[in-house]
Amino acid sequence: MASHQRRDENGGAAAEEEDGSTPGSIYGFESLHRLLEANLKPQIFQEVSRLLLGLNCGRHLERVSLPQAATSLSAEHDFDLQAFCFHADKELLRQPRIVRVGLIQNAIGLPTTAHFVDQKNAIRQKVEPMIDAAGASGVNILCLQEAWMMPFCFCTREKKWCEFAEPFDGESTQFLQEFARKYNMVIVNSILERDIHHGETIWNTAVVIGNHGNIIGIHRKNHIPRVGDFNESTYYMEGNTGHPVFETAYGKIAVNICYGRHHPLNWLAFGLNGAEIVFNPSATVGELSEPMWPIEARNAAIANSYFVGSINRVGTEIFPNPFTSGDGKPQHSDFGHFYGSSHFSAPDASCTPSLSRYRDGLMVSDMDLNLCRQLKDKWGFRMTARYELYAEMLAKYLKSDFTPQVIIDPML
């Protein structure tokens, strides 16, 4: 498989790694799946894929052919394009509920030193052909990455980046509303929100745009990281919107923004509210989280009997002023490599391969939402959950006089 040369943040060709491969690649390959496919015998690769990606209704996940209009856009604009199909078992009393869903990952388009207006325009120019490819592919619901209209500047603690904040119905929402109307598509728009009605407070927010271009509602990020360079609480605090599920023309969706994926109860709450698809728009780097990335969302899909779409940005974003984060590391000017690898997970433990670790990309998947109920019936997680037991435990834990239930060995 030929590797694709990444463009650096100045628009030029990125320097090669010492081994001659593209930065962000795995020895020249865009993903672990592609590395294995190129280096294993077909029968061995098939078995390895079964172990890594699972089976959907007892079968390997099927690839889907997309229209030439979409593949041509992928070739012209050099973005990774993959498509798959999750089946459900045939039922006698319900028709299939098939929805086509898309995820977009992208790098920034200009250096972080460029004028903010130019940075926004460059990102829109990168994302637009991928939205068009999604529209040409008949995608019903599309989700973009966390804070897609800006560099992920929250490592710097510099307040000038607050200029990227916008009202929930601001320029990025208006930009995407046109596509929602054009393609009859629900779009999840993850932004840095400025709440103009409450003291211009800033939030990390997802705006859910309906397929008629209407705004269905918003959700604000529930859990804010304070780890490594993720100094996000300098800019915004924990959200105040609970765990809303948005009933759209194509199904019930929710948005678990970035760091919320590390909190199992966050995933649970969206499931209790009836979500069938939960999106996890993110910005995360390899050194910190990559071993966790293929596990957490997949586990959430299994435990809560819904589909999960995981989206991560790509590339290395270099900021003009070096910074430190109180972790003993020397000052530096970048977060590290955002490793992309966007993918879908299903309630039956199957998942798609990942998009590229270094290229922009569009992941498309058909999913039969009947699979959600079928897995609830099969495993009975809701029936056996013992929520009252944990409600009692958590109620005790929240009290100041809580004492852990520890039985001490009398022989100690």
Indicate which residue of 30, 153, 155, 221 is catalytic.
Answer: 221
Say how many C-beta atoms besides its own lie within 10 A of residue 327's C-beta. 8
258 is catalytic: yes
CA distances, 299 to each of 6, 7, 302, 311, 341 (Å): 32, 34, 5, 16, 17
Token code pair at residue 280: 């996890």
Cα–Cα distance for residue pair 51/44, rounded to 1 Å: 11
Indicate which residue of 143, 153, 155, 258 is catalytic.
Answer: 258
Do residues 80 and 341 touch, judged by C-beta distance below 8 A? no
Q: Taking Cα atoms as reference points, which of 96, 93, 108, 80 lies closest to residue 11?
A: 108
Indicate which residue of 146, 166, 232, 317 is catalytic.
Answer: 146
Cα–Cα distance for residue pair 141/208, rounded to 1 Å: 10
Do residues 66 and 365 touch, judged by C-beta distance below 8 A? no
User: Residue 29 carries which DSSP code?
Assistant: B
CA distances, 127 to each of 111, 115, 143, 385 (Å): 17, 19, 12, 42
Q: Taking Cα atoms as reference points, which of 94, 146, 54, 87 lies closest to residue 365?
A: 87
Cα–Cα distance for residue pair 213/149, rounded to 1 Å: 19
221 is catalytic: yes
For residue 113, the surrounding DSSP H or E stretch is none
Residues belonging to the active site: 146, 221, 258
